[in-house]
């Protein structure tokens, strides 16, 4: 038998009392773990959404513009000094310091072509990257282009041209097959003809040229501003802009929720400490006789303090484990309802370690004074209480 | 050589000399190894205070206590705890067993913080010695009062202490059970155990070899028990000890 056996036996002797204390602490741990897990799930969901939004950076050629107005009448504008983007620039993007964060680099070449007697805008793209980037695209008819002689039509372009999946189109003298038609998304994309970028460069007679580049970066804690700066440094002739306003707004809401969670967690921590403190102090007072016996048979003050602290730590440990499990499981059910978001909780080993370690630490700190009181109990007082 | 030397031990409460309450006043005595001593006196005579001082639990206001040559109250609190563990065994009026530990675990209690190797074996041996070898796994609530007292005695001697201090060990027991416990004390004494027993029950002192009588914190007599009993019985010529012994 060792000191911890005495601790454990005492805990087992008072199951209802210990269960009440454990329940009090476990509820606190469960709330903290639940809030943190939901908050984290929301963050992760936001990052997924950011990825789904598509590009979070757009690279365009840098140009100076001159508005032409006189007496309040605008007669048009003039852009000059524009430097061309080329496919060689795309390689440079992959050489930035944070290149590991760069998920997709999707170049586009835009131009006007004549198709079946109508002027249409042509967008040369890399279909593999583009379809990966534009998760909201839905091919309503047909399928993805299987080769460089196949194209996709925006919803409006399909109607305008009277062409659907399987039809052939003659674009500037070259024949292409419509592999699929995109569902309308309410943007300019509905009016476009999407074609392989190499074919677009040939048709538009702009070999190697790129109109703009959309870049998607992994944004779970990625430094988007740093990436923008790094690309600007690599491409001095380009303008690089981050597209993230919507995400930032939502991030701010989640930030508020996280702050609320933090404040509540600190409050719960203080309440937990008070619960342990009062409970342990009262237990020490109730156990004066018992402590007197320990002291009489030769237990040192440090032994008594250790017995009290071990009990608190054990209660904290049980509360930590049960509270974490309850909080984590509850978060899985509550998170989608409470946030109105389709969020899924993910196990993170650091959370149980911090939650359990934290509640054990709080229990120990809150028990320091009661343990000192117990240890300093005058053995003769304890003896008198026995007589 | 004396096991215990109490030298002008005083215990008083209160700092003001005029209102000071004296629990013990210049108590001197020595105890040799193997003695079986009874300390008697009426309530408030200082018996329990003396026991607490002998038990290294309550420092005297004046005087000193040497046990086996060790100035007990010159030791630090922690060293005094070690001293209690190594030199003393306590038997209280109530058995004071820890309710959530079995008989065996209660007996093992002093060994938990000592360096003894086979703690369980030694505790089991002590339980056998007090006749409770078959009740090692019982909780105190599953034992009779006499059995609980036996467990308390086993706990007190498990460390093989040079001195056993007992405070009214049969005070809460019926006469038959009390007699059994006194027999146990006598058996321990026969094995060479030094015992100091505080009691106000004259029946309890039958086996003791020496009787110290206290009154108002002062030793009024310190003599062989036989002599005292003989003197008391001689007054009325019955040869039986008189109960007035406890209340004089």
Residue pair A102/A126 in contact by the 8 Å Cβ criterion: no
- Contact A302/B78, CB-based, under 8 Å? yes
Given a cut of 60, is residue B36 above it in pLDDT? yes
Residue whose token pair is 């979070």: A56
Contacts of A13 in chain B (CB under 8 A): 99-100
Residue B140, in any domain of the structure: yes
Choose among A293, A387, A382: nearest CA to B89. Answer: A293
Nearest one of A321, A331, A327 to A353, comparing CA atoms: A321
User: Which is nearest to B107 in space by CA: B130, B88, B84?
Assistant: B130
pLDDT confidence bin for A251, thresholds 50/70/90: low
* Number of residues assigned to chain A: 387
Does B57 sit within 8 Å of A1, measured CB to CB?
no
Return d(Cα A133, Cα A214) in angstroms, integer: 9
pTM (predicted TM-score): 0.66
Residue of higher predicted confidence among A379 and B9: B9
Q: Which pLDDT does position A145 carry in this prediction?
A: 92
pLDDT of res. B101:
92
Q: Tokens at residue A366, please?
A: 């809150």
Look at residue A72 and give its three-state secondary structure. Answer: coil
Average pLDDT taken over every residue of chain A: 82
Mark yes or no for CB contact B58/A297 under 8 Å: no
Check whether A340 has a pLDDT greater than 70.
no
A9 to B78: CB separation less than 8 angstroms, yes or no:
no
Which residue in A has a C-alpha nearest to residue B108's C-alpha? A1
- How many percent of chain A have pLDDT more than 90? 21
Cross-chain Cβ contact B112/A293 below 8 Å: no
Residue B95 has pLDDT above 90, yes or no: no
Band (pLDDT 50/70/90 cuts) for residue A384 is low
Contacting A residues, span 12-41, partner chain B, CB-CB under 8 Å: 12-13
A324, pLDDT greater than 70: yes
What span, in angstroms and rounded, lies between the C-alpha atoms of B154 and A73? 111
Q: How far is A245 from A56, CA to CA, in rounded Å? A: 10
Tokens representing residue A357 in the block: 């370690």
Cβ neighbourhood burial of A121 (10 Å; 0-12, 13-18, 19+): middle
Is B57 close to A387, i.e. CB distance below 8 A? Answer: no
SS3 state at A180: strand
Taking contacts as CB-CB distances below 8 angstroms, the residues of chain B near A302 are 78
How much is the CA Rg of chain A, to the nearest whole Å?
34
Across the interface, of A301, A302, A380, the residue whose CB is closest to B52 is A380
User: Nearest Cβ partner of A1 from B92, B99, B119?
Assistant: B119
Most confident segment among A16-30, A144-158, A368-382, B38-52:
A144-158
Task: Considering only the beta carbons, identify the residue of B77, B85, B101 that sits closest to A298.
Answer: B85
Contact A298 B113 (CB under 8 A): yes
Tokens 């094995």 belong to B191
Is the separation of the CB atoms in A217 and A101 below 8 Å? yes
Mean pLDDT of B221-237: 73
- State the total domains in chain B: 1
Residues of B in contact with A1 (CB under 8 A): 105, 108, 111-112, 119-120
Rounded to a whole number of angstroms, the distance from the CA of A329 to the nearest CA of chain B is 35
pLDDT classification of A338: cutoffs 50, 70, 90:
low
Gap between the Cα atoms of B100 and A14, Å rounded: 9
Q: B41 and B215 in contact (C-beta within 8 Å)?
A: yes
Q: What is the pLDDT of residues B170-211, one digit of tens each?
A: 877 777 888 888 888 888 898 889 999 998 888 888 888 899
Q: Could you give the percent of chain A with pLDDT greater than 70? A: 84
Give the pair of three-digit tokens for residue A123.
Answer: 């967008």
Residues of B in contact with A296 (CB under 8 A): 55, 57, 84, 90
Q: Does B87 touch chain A (CB under 8 A)?
A: no
Q: What is each CA distance from A179 to A168, A187, A308, in whole angstroms?
A: 9, 21, 76
Number of other residues whose CB lies within 10 A of the CB of residue A379? 24
User: How many CB atoms sit inside 10 A of residue A127's CB?
Assistant: 21
- pLDDT value at residue A343: 63
Q: What's residue A174's pLDDT?
A: 86
Identify the pLDDT of residue A321: 93
Instruction: Give long-range contacts, CB 8 A cutoff, 24+ apart: B228-234.
Output: B229/B205
- The CB-side HSE value for A160 (13 A sphere, CA atoms) comes to 17
Using CA atoms, how far apart are residues B199 and B178, in angstroms rounded to an integer? 12
- Asked if the structure places residue B50 within a domain, the reply is no
Yes or no: say if A337 and A291 are a contact pair by the CB < 8 Å rule.
no
Q: Residue B103: pLDDT band by 50, 70, 90 thresholds?
A: very high
Strand partners, B197: B38, B166
Instruction: Compute the distance between CA of residue A25 and CA of residue A316 in angstroms, rounded to an integer.
Output: 7
- A338 neighbors A37 (Cβ within 8 angstroms): no
ipTM: 0.86
* Mean pLDDT, residues A197-221: 85
More confident residue, A213 or A116: A213
CB A387 to CB B167 under 8 A? Answer: yes
- Residue A339's pLDDT band (cuts 50, 70, 90): low
Structural domain of B121: 80-86+95-156
Q: Which two tokens stand for residue B73?
A: 């109250």
In a domain, B174, yes or no: no
- Are A300 and B92 within 8 A, CB to CB? no
pLDDT at residue B242 in the model: 46
Interchain contact, A299 vs B113, CB within 8 Å: yes
Nearest Cα residue in chain A from B60? A380
Classified as helix, coil or strand, B219 is strand
Give the mean model confidence (pLDDT) for residues B162-166: 92
Portion 20-79 of B in contact with A at CB < 8 A: 48, 52, 55, 57-58, 77-78
Residue B86 sits at the chain A interface (C-beta within 8 Å): yes
- Which of A19, A23, A48, A42 is closest to A331 using CA atoms? A42
Do A296 and B119 make contact, defined as CB atoms within 8 angstroms? no
pLDDT band at A54 (very low <50, low <70, confident <90, very high): low
Does the residue B186 lie in any domain? no
Looking at residue B138, its pLDDT comes to 92
Whether B116 is in a domain gets the answer: yes
More confident of the two residues A258 and A312: A312
Q: What is the mean pLDDT of residues A308-324?
A: 92
Question: A39-49 burial, b for 16+ CB within 10 Å, e for fewer?
Answer: bbbbbebbbee
Residue A223 has pLDDT above 80, yes or no: no
Measured between alpha carbons, how far is B219 from A194 in angstroms, rounded to an integer? 115
Helix (H) or strand (E) holding A302: helix A301-339
Which residues of chain A does B46 touch, with a Cβ-Cβ cutoff of 8 Å?
none
Helix axes A15-53, A301-339, angle to 10 degrees: 40
- Cα A362 to Cα A20, A197, B29, B66: the distances in Å are 17, 62, 52, 45
Q: What is the DSSP letter of A81?
A: S
Taking contacts as CB-CB distances below 8 angstroms, the residues of chain B near A3 are 112-113
Q: Is A383 touching B (CB cutoff 8 A)?
A: yes
> Do A384 and B93 count as a contact with CB atoms less than 8 A apart?
no
What are the pLDDT digits (tens) for A107-136? 999 999 988 778 889 999 999 888 888 877
Q: Which of B113, B117, B122, B155 to mutate to test the interface with A (most CBs of A within 10 A)?
A: B113
Q: Is the Cβ pair B57, A380 closer than 8 Å?
A: yes
> Which contiguous run of DSSP H or E holds residue B177?
helix B175-190
The encoded tokens of residue A211 equal 């109109």
The DSSP annotation for A333-361 comes to HHHHHHHSS-------THHHHHHHHHHHH
List the single residue in A with minimal CA-CA distance to B52.
Answer: A380
pLDDT at res. A91? 86
Q: Is residue B126 part of a domain?
A: yes
Inter-chain CB proximity B55 and A299 less than 8 Å:
no
Instruction: Name every chain A residue with its beta carbon within 8 A of the beta carbon of B101.
Output: 6, 9
A302 touches chain B (CB under 8 A): yes
- Which has the closest alpha carbon to A364: A304, A288, A299, A308? A308
Q: Name A332's Cβ contacts closer than 8 Å, sequence gap at least 6.
A: A344, A345
**In-domain check, residue B20:** no
B155 touches chain A (CB under 8 A): yes
């Amino acid at each position: 038998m060792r000191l911890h056996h005495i601790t454990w036996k005492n805990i087992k002797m008072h199951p209802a009392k210990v269960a009440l204390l454990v329940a009090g602490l476990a509820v606190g741990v469960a709330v903290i773990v639940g809030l943190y897990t939901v908050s984290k799930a929301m963050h992760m969901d936001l990052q997924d959404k950011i990825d789904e939004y598509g590009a979070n950076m757009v690279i365009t050629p840098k140009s100076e513009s001159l508005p032409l107005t006189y007496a309040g009448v605008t007669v048009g504008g003039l852009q000059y000094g524009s430097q061309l983007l080329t496919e060689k620039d795309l390689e440079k993007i992959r050489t930035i310091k944070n290149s590991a964060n760069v998920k997709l680099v999707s170049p586009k070449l835009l131009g006007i072509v004549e198709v079946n007697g109508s002027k249409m805008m042509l967008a040369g793209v890399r279909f593999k990257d583009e379809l990966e980037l534009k998760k909201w695209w839905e091919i309503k008819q047909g399928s993805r282009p299987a080769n460089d002689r196949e194209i996709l039509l925006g919803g409006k372009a399909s109607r305008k041209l009277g062409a659907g999946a399987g039809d052939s189109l003659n674009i500037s003298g070259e024949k292409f097959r419509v592999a699929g038609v995109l569902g309308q998304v309410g943007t300019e994309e509905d009016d476009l003809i999407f074609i392989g970028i190499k074919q677009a460069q040939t048709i538009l007679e702009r070999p190697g040229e790129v109109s703009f580049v959309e870049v998607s970066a992994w944004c779970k804690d990625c430094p988007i501003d740093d990436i923008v700066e790094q690309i600007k440094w690599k491409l001095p002739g380009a303008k690089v802009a981050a597209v993230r306003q919507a995400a930032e707004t939502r991030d701010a809401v989640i930030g508020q929720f996280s702050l609320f969670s933090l404040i509540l967690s600190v409050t719960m921590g203080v309440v937990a400490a008070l619960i342990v403190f009062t409970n342990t102090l009262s237990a020490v007072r109730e156990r004066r006789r018992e402590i007197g016996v320990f002291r009489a048979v030769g237990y040192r003050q440090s032994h008594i303090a250790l017995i009290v602290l071990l009990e608190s730590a054990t209660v904290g440990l049980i509360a930590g484990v049960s509270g974490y499990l309850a909080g984590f499981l509850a978060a899985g059910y509550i998170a989608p309802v409470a946030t109105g978001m389709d969020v899924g909780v993910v196990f993170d080993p650091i959370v149980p370690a911090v939650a359990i370690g934290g509640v054990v630490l709080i229990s120990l700190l809150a028990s320091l004074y009661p343990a000192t009181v117990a240890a300093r109990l005058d053995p003769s007082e304890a003896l008198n209480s026995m007589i | 050589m004396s096991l215990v030397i109490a030298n002008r031990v005083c215990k008083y409460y209160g700092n003001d000399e005029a209102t000071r309450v004296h629990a013990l006043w210049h108590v001197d005595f020595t105890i040799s190894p193997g003695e079986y001593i009874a300390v008697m006196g009426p309530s408030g005579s200082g018996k329990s205070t003396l026991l607490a001082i002998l038990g290294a639990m309550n420092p005297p206001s004046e005087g000193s206590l040497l046990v086996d040559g060790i100035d007990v109250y010159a030791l630090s609190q922690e060293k005094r705890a070690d001293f209690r563990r190594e030199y003393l065994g306590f038997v209280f009026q109530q058995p004071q067993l820890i309710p959530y530990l079995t008989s065996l675990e209660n007996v093992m209690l002093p060994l938990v913080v000592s360096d003894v190797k086979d703690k369980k074996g030694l505790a089991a041996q002590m339980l056998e010695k007090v006749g409770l070898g078959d009740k090692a796994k019982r909780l105190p609530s599953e034992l009779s009062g006499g059995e609980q007292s036996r467990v308390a005695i086993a706990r007190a001697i498990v460390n093989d202490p040079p001195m056993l201090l007992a405070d009214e060990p049969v005070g809460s027991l019926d006469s038959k059970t009390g007699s059994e416990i006194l027999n146990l004390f006598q058996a321990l004494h026969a094995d060479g155990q030094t015992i100091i027993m505080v009691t106000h029950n004259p029946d309890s002192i039958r086996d003791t070899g020496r009787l110290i009588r206290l009154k108002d914190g002062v030793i009024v007599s310190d003599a062989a028990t036989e002599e005292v009993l003989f003197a008391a019985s001689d007054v009325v010529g019955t040869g039986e000890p008189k109960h007035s012994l406890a209340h004089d």
